[in-house]
Amino acid sequence: MSNPTPQRTDYPHFQPITTRWHDNDAYGHVNNVTYYSFFDTAVNTYLIQVGGLDIHDAKWWDSWSVRPAITLPRSLFRI
């Protein structure tokens, strides 16, 4: 049994992304690591536009436990 090739209509959301100069290598190909950035941009844009994520409302930040910065030299682990 063969799987049919997915069509554009099979995907409910599209996010246009413009590449920047440093996204491409000397041959004009998009660098592999850049694809993760594209995925991250698409997900966050979707969450902001459709999912109701309010990046200007930082109430969620208050629930995080922020620890003081580490000054070096200091051991991060106890042995």
Tokens of 1: 């049994």
In a domain, 16, yes or no: no
In a domain, 1, yes or no: no
In a domain, 44, yes or no: yes
In a domain, 40, yes or no: yes
Check whether 5 has a pLDDT greater than 90: yes
Mean pLDDT for all residues in the chain: 80
Count how many domains the chain has. Answer: 1
- Residues 45-79: tens digit of each pLDDT: 998 888 777 777 766 555 556 666 666 666 666 65
What is the full DSSP assignment across the chain? -PPPPP-GGG-S--------GGGB-TTSPBPTTHHHHHHHHHHHHHHHHTS---TT-GGGGGGS-PPPPP-SS--SS--
> pLDDT grade, residue 38 (50/70/90)?
very high
Check whether 7 has a pLDDT greater than 90: yes
Domain that residue 35 falls in: 24-55
